[in-house]
Amino acid sequence: MNKPLPTDIKPVVFINAYFEKTVFNFLFSFVAGAIAALAMPPSPIWGLLLISVPVLYYAVTKAKNRLVAFGSGWVFGFGYFVFSLSWVANALLVEGNPYVWAWPLAACGLPALLAFFPALACLIAKSFMRLNHISGWLGFVAAYALFEWVRGHIFTGFPWNLFGYTWVDSLPMIQVLRLSDVYFLTLLTLIWACAPALMLLQSSAQKISGLLIVTLTLLGTFAYGQAELSGAEQETTPLNIRVVQPNIAQHEKWERGKQYSNFEKHLNLSTQQPLPDEPIIVVWPETAVSYRLLQTAPAQILFRNALASLPVGSSLLTGYLRYDAETGQYFNSLVEFDRMGTIQNIYDKNHLVPFGEYIPFQQWIPLKPVVQFQGFGRGEGIVSLNSLQNKAYSPLVCYEIIFPGRATDTNNPPDFIVNVTNDAWYGDSAGPHQHLAKAVYRAVETGIPVIRSANTGISAIIDPYGRKNQSQSVFTKETINAKMPKIRGQSFIDDWAKNNIFMFLVFAFFSFALIKKHYNTNED
């Protein structure tokens, strides 16, 4: 007669039996990825990462081979991205869009591609690390964080919904961004999220060491944030800001019969409320004005009269659909007008959206809709422009705000960042909230306020600590009036360290994991 298993190991045997079966391994990984999606805005529940990431770690640990580990990472990534980025496909559901048929490709195609990044991280962890050792635990964290960095840079990059964004509603936790960027916070978040996976380690000494790392980094991050916020008054400059959110439905934005009413909506929101006596910067959203509209005499008269009503020294910063007659090229631009309606500055968007504003490898895709798509011209890149109020600003159009380290010209730092966008494409979904989170993080990382105007959802004036004066929600027509926040003082860490701390930790964790794997030191 077989002896019954000791009661203290029955749960472990039961769990192992399921995770060692490939089909269940993949199923648990997919569900874990879907749960992790709930850790992202609009209502980020960071604690869910304490469940989802350890499940992935355990699935990779118990995978029969490297191929199964790769598959576990892929299905986790697919579950994560398909649920956290499902709103991307909403752009194809706008009324009158002839490409509705491509909805499944947009909803599943992008997540399927992005899932290869966690899959490769899991493959490396399984291949080169002792996952039942503290070195493997740190190595797994480093591998996942590194491939998040790769995702944010390769093929123009798409650093959307990095795990570090789970802290957007926690001001103390995001102050650590001032020491580096969201990749560093993502690395820290993975350390904390993997804390339950410490139970896989073979010895109590390793578990204690791991928990010590988790405790010190978590409490240290929170304490640093509290200390930064404790003396941080919401200081402002004398410069007035008015952000306009017109709330124009996407299917009506370019409708010929409504272009003048849409234009008048911008003008009325800019001038109907009482104006200060001092100069003001009015900010309109992405493509609020087109070159064609301003070629008509009625629009020119309305435009100049409205601008002339602003205080002396004021200006308008607006998204502008620009056309270059010499080259026949369209540009998605941000333009500064003075009170006479004269253009003072032009910025052409540089970081274009793949498949939205241009099509990669277009010359090799022999499909009629692809061949006929003209796309936008590309601007020269990051720049600081001088406004009429003697303030330097970094112009960013829509998507450009999502890239850490690429929001400002560090050799000529601006006084503020202006980000114009049109999130009406995505409706009342998670997309506008996630987009706003990127603007919050850029403000804290750079120590420079962000002025954000969205056609609808969500406009905001964000100070360098991430505190927001924002529109009520998507689908609201309103203005935000405030003084320009002051820039933040220098952090105690220099620029070289800020730019390299993430890679230094990744290298250190990888080295530790590889050395332990090579020498197979048994510290259990």
| Residues with catalytic roles | 286, 349, 398
Which among 69, 75, 93 is positioned nearest to 27, based on CA atoms? 75
- Decide if 348 contacts 332 (C-beta within 8 A): yes
Q: Assess whether the previous peptide bond of 487 is cis (omega < 30° from 0).
A: no
Check residue 197 and report its DSSP letter.
G
Half-sphere exposure of 151 (CA within 13 A, CB side): 28
Which residues, 6+ apart, have CB-to-CB distance to 207 below 8 Å? 198, 199, 201
SS3 413: coil
Which residues, 6+ apart, have CB-to-CB distance to 106 below 8 Å? 88, 89, 91, 92
Which residues, 6+ apart, have CB-to-CB distance to 467 below 8 Å? 171, 234
Check residue 109 and report its DSSP letter.
I
Which among 434, 445, 514 is positioned nearest to 38, based on CA atoms? 434
- Record the tokens describing residue 496, joined without a space: 């070289």
Cα→Cα distances 483→58, 236, 237, 339, 505, Å: 51, 6, 6, 20, 39
Compute the chain's Rg from CA coordinates: 25
- Record the tokens describing residue 137, joined without a space: 């635990």
Which among 41, 142, 21, 32 is positioned nearest to 77, based on CA atoms? 32
Check residue 107 and report its DSSP letter.
I
Residue 150 CB neighbour total at 10 angstroms: 15
